[in-house]
C-alpha cells in the first residue's frame, strides 16, 4: 500500500475545499444581505426633522373666505412655519385702486390680528402710478414688509413699473412678482404662450431684463415648483445674482432643489409654499442639501434680506 500523494486526488480535493470555502462565504454573505433586507430600517421621525428648522414662508396667500387665514395658520403651526408672508394677489381686472386697496385691507386685517405668525405683502397696479405709490406708503405704515405677489396687470419689466421699482429699492424691499415658464409638448419650452395665458404674464426673460436694468434691486421669482421649466429658469438666472427664486408650488420634481442650488448657489433660494404646504416642506427635506444649506433656504436667506430694511424676524 503506497502512502504517496496522488497528484490528481490532491488537486481535486484542494479545489473542492476551496470551492466549499467560497460557497460558504458567499452563502454567509447572502445570509447577511437577506438579514439586512428584512431588518426594519432605522427609525426616521419626519416630524422631528421638520420641526427642527426655523422657517419663513416667503410666498403664501389669504382669501375672502371664512376659513382664511385660519387654514393657513393651521398648516403653519403643524409644520413649524414661524412666519408666513401673505398677500391676496390681484386676480381681478382691471385692478383699480379701489380693488387693490380692498385686497390690501384684507391682508392688513390679518397681520394685525395675528402679528406673531403673519407678515404682510401689498399688491398694486403700475397702471395707476400715483395711487400705487400712495398705497406703498399706506401699507408700509400699516406694518407690511414689501410687495406681495404682483400679478398679471403688467409684465415686471414694463416701463410702467420703473417708478414703483425705484421706490421699492429706496425702501430696501424685495420685489416679488408672479411669473411662468410654460412647457410644451415633449417637455420643450414654448416660445409663445397659448391662449390660456394672460398676455402680460411675466416670464424669465422679463426678470433678466429688469434685473439688468436695476442691479441694485432684489427680485423674487415666484414658484419654481409651479409646473414650469424650472431647469431653464435656473440656468437663465445663474449669472444674475440679484434674482432669487422661491421654491413654492405643488410640483415636487426629483432634484429640483439640488439643481437650483447647483446653478444659483445656496444663498439665492427662499423656502415658500404658495399654500402647497406639506409638498414645499417635503421637497427641502428630501433634497441632498447639507444641514447648513437647509437652514439657509428655510429661514436665513430671506431673513437676511429683510434685515437690510430693518424688517427681519428676530
The verdict on residue 313 lying in a domain is no
Residue 112 scores a pLDDT above 50:
yes
Same domain assignment for residues 21 and 148: no
Q: In this structure, are residues 179 and 201 in contact, taking their beta carbons and an 8 Å threshold?
A: yes
Q: Residue 33: give the domain boundaries.
A: 1-39
Q: What angle do CA 281, 89, 294 make, to 5 degrees?
A: 20
pLDDT greater at residue 289 or residue 27:
289
Our count of domains for the chain comes to: 2
The verdict on residue 172 lying in a domain is yes
Same domain assignment for residues 1 and 87: no
Q: In this structure, are residues 298 and 271 in contact, taking their beta carbons and an 8 Å threshold?
A: yes
Residue 28 scores a pLDDT above 90:
no
Same domain assignment for residues 110 and 62: yes
Average pLDDT over residues 190-203: 73
- Torsion sign, CA atoms 163, 164, 165, 169: positive
Same domain assignment for residues 8 and 107: no
Same domain assignment for residues 33 and 80: no
Q: What tens digit of pLDDT does each residue of 29-42 get?
A: 555 555 656 666 67
- Cα separation, 76 vs 25, in Å, equals 54
Same domain assignment for residues 151 and 29: no
Residue-wise over 108-126: b if at least 16 C-beta within 10 A, else e?
bebbeebeebbbbbbbbbb
The verdict on residue 68 lying in a domain is yes
The verdict on residue 314 lying in a domain is no
pLDDT greater at residue 27 or residue 262:
262
Same domain assignment for residues 149 and 84: yes
Average pLDDT over residues 50-70: 97
pLDDT greater at residue 177 or residue 24:
177
Q: Give the pLDDT of residue 44.
A: 85
**Model confidence band, residue 6 (pLDDT cutoffs 50, 70, 90):** low
Q: Give the pLDDT of residue 66.
A: 96
The verdict on residue 195 lying in a domain is yes
Same domain assignment for residues 124 and 269: yes
**Model confidence band, residue 69 (pLDDT cutoffs 50, 70, 90):** very high
The three state secondary structure string of 201-234 is CCCHHHHHHHHHHCCCCCEEECCCCCCCCHHHHH
The three state secondary structure string of 15-70 is HHHHHHHHHHHHHHHHHHHHHHHHCCCCCCCHHHHHHCCCCEEEEEECCCCCCCCH
Same domain assignment for residues 159 and 252: yes
The verdict on residue 222 lying in a domain is yes
Same domain assignment for residues 93 and 166: yes
Q: Give the pLDDT of residue 43.
A: 83
- Torsion sign, CA atoms 154, 157, 160, 162: positive
**Model confidence band, residue 54 (pLDDT cutoffs 50, 70, 90):** very high
Residue 208 scores a pLDDT above 70:
yes
Residue 19 scores a pLDDT above 60:
no
Q: Which of 64-68, 78-82, 192-196, 229-233 has the lowest mean pLDDT?
A: 192-196
Local structure of residue 253 (DSSP, 8 states):
-
CATH number for position 185: 3.20.20.140
- Cα separation, 58 vs 155, in Å, equals 21
Same domain assignment for residues 8 and 125: no
Same domain assignment for residues 9 and 106: no
Amino acid at each position: 500500500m503506497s502512502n504517496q500523494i496522488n497528484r490528481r486526488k490532491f488537486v481535486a480535493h484542494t479545489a473542492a475545499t476551496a470551492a466549499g470555502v467560497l460557497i460558504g462565504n458567499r452563502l454567509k454573505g447572502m445570509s447577511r444581505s437577506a438579514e439586512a433586507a428584512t431588518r426594519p430600517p432605522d427609525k426616521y421621525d419626519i416630524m422631528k426633522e421638520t420641526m427642527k428648522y426655523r422657517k419663513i414662508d416667503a410666498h403664501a396667500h389669504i382669501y375672502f373666505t371664512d376659513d382664511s387665514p385660519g387654514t393657513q395658520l393651521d398648516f403653519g403651526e403643524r409644520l413649524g412655519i414661524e412666519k408666513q408672508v401673505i398677500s391676496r394677489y390681484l386676480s381681478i381686472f382691471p385692478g383699480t385702486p379701489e380693488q387693490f386697496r380692498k385686497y390690501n385691507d384684507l391682508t392688513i386685517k390679518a397681520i394685525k390680528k395675528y402679528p406673531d405668525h403673519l407678515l404682510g405683502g401689498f399688491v398694486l397696479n403700475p397702471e395707476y402710478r400715483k395711487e400705487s405709490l400712495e398705497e406703498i406708503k399706506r401699507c408700509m405704515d400699516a406694518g407690511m414688509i414689501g410687495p406681495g405677489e404682483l400679478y398679471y396687470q403688467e409684465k415686471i419689466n414694463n416701463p410702467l413699473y420703473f417708478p414703483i421699482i425705484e421706490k421699492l429699492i429706496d425702501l430696501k424691499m424685495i420685489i416679488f412678482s408672479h411669473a411662468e415658464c410654460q412647457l410644451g409638448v415633449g417637455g420643450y419650452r414654448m416660445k409663445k404662450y397659448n391662449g390660456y395665458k394672460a398676455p402680460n404674464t411675466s416670464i424669465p426673460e422679463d426678470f433678466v431684463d429688469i434685473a439688468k436694468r436695476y442691479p441694485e434691486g432684489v427680485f423674487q421669482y415666484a414658484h419654481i415648483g409651479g409646473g414650469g421649466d424650472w431647469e431653464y429658469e435656473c440656468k437663465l438666472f445663474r449669472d444674475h445674482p440679484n434674482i432669487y427664486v422661491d421654491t413654492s408650488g405643488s410640483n415636487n420634481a426629483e432634484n429640483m432643489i439640488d439643481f437650483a442650488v447647483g446653478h444659483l448657489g445656496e444663498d439665492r433660494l427662499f423656502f415658500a409654499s404658495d399654500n402647497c404646504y406639506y409638498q414645499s416642506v417635503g421637497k427641502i427635506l428630501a433634497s441632498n442639501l447639507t444641514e447648513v444649506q437647509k437652514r439657509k433656504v428655510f429661514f436665513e436667506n430671506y431673513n437676511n434680506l429683510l434685515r437690510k430694511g430693518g424688517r427681519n424676524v428676530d
